[in-house]
């Protein structure tokens, strides 16, 4: 017996991004219904900051490198 296919459902998204749509047209151009500034602001507010290079632990050297 064939497996029952699930009906397509919309993905779970953050309420601030509700209705966000992004597509790539036939020429390879990206089309969005929100500006890059809006998306950047959302990411600044909701994503943790990356550690700066001074906070990263040093990479241990192998005997061959010394």
* Helix, strand or coil, per DSSP, at residue 42: helix
Give me the pLDDT at residue 66, please. Answer: 54
Calculate the CA dihedral of residues 44, 48, 53, 56 and round it to 10 degrees: 180
> CA 34 to CA 6: how far, in whole Å?
30
In total, how many domains does the chain have?
1
Residue 61 lies in a domain: no
Residue 64 lies in a domain: no
Residue 20 lies in a domain: yes
Range of the domain at 39: 15-44
Is the model more confident about 65 or about 15? Answer: 15
Residue 1 lies in a domain: no
Residue 33 lies in a domain: yes
Encode pLDDT of 31-66 as tens digits: 999 999 999 999 999 988 776 655 666 677 776 655
Give me the pLDDT at residue 56, please. Answer: 62
């Amino acid at each position: 017996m064939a497996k029952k296919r699930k009906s397509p459902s919309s993905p779970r998204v953050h309420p601030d991004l509700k209705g966000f749509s992004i597509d790539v047209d036939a020429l390879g151009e990206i089309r969005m219904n929100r500006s890059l500034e809006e998306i950047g602001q959302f990411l600044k507010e909701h994503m943790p900051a990356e550690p700066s290079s001074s906070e990263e632990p040093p990479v241990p050297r192998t005997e061959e490198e010394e």
